Amino acid sequence: MPVALIVGATGLVGAYIARKLKRSGWRCIGMGRHRPADLAACSLDGFVTCDLLDPTACRGVRAELADVSHVFHLARVLNAGYAIPIKENERMLLNLLDALEGAPDLAHVQIMHGLKWYGSHQHPFAIPARESGPRPAGVQTFYYAQRDAVEKRQRGQRWTFSTLRPHCVSGVSVGSPSNLMLGIGMLGALMKETGQPLRYPGSAQAFSAQLTYTDAGLLADAMHWAATSPAAANQDFNVANGDVFSWEQVWPKLGAYFGVETGAPGIDGFSEEMAGMKGVWHSMARRHGLAPHAYESLVSWPFVQASLGLAWDQVMSTDKLAQHGFTQRIDTLAMIFRILDNYRELRIIP
pLDDT at position 321: 98
pLDDT tens digits along 206-249: 999 999 999 999 999 999 999 999 999 999 999 999 999 999 99
State what percent of residues in the chain have pLDDT above 70: 99
Are 267 and 334 contained in the same domain?
Answer: yes
State what percent of residues in the chain have pLDDT above 90: 89
Are 151 and 185 contained in the same domain?
Answer: no
pLDDT, mean of residues 199-207: 94
pLDDT, mean of residues 132-147: 93
**Closest by Cα among 166, 181, 187, 196 to 321:** 166
More confident site: 231 or 173: 231
Give the chain's mean pLDDT: 95
- SS3 of 289-305: the string is CCCCCCHHHHCCHHHHH
pLDDT at position 82: 58
Q: Which amino acid does the sequence have at 156?
A: G
Say if residue 262's pLDDT is above 70.
yes
Within a domain: 156 = yes
Q: Which amino acid does the sequence have at 39?
A: L
Within a domain: 350 = no
Confidence grade of residue 177 (pLDDT, cut at 50, 70, 90): confident
Domain count, the chain: 2
Work out the widest C-alpha separation in the chain, in whole angstroms.
Answer: 62
Give the helix, strand, coil percentages of the chain, each rounded to 5: 45, 15, 40
pLDDT tens digits along 72-129: 999 988 776 556 888 999 999 999 999 999 899 999 999 999 999 999 989 999 999 9
Range of the domain at 334: 170-212+244-345
pLDDT at position 167: 96
Are 141 and 65 contained in the same domain?
Answer: yes
The CATH number that applies at residue 94 is 3.40.50.720
Are 27 and 72 contained in the same domain?
Answer: yes
Within a domain: 56 = yes
pLDDT at position 81: 59
Are 121 and 198 contained in the same domain?
Answer: no
More confident site: 146 or 174: 146
Answer whether 82's CB lies under 8 Å from 303's CB: yes
Are 99 and 116 contained in the same domain?
Answer: yes
Within a domain: 121 = yes
Are 257 and 134 contained in the same domain?
Answer: no
How many CA within 13 A on the CB side of residue 116?
A: 17
Are 87 and 131 contained in the same domain?
Answer: yes
pTM to 2 decimals? Answer: 0.95
Are 160 and 201 contained in the same domain?
Answer: no
pLDDT, mean of residues 183-195: 97
pLDDT, mean of residues 179-195: 96
Is the torsion defined by CA of 13, 15, 20, 21 positive or negative? positive
Are 24 and 65 contained in the same domain?
Answer: yes
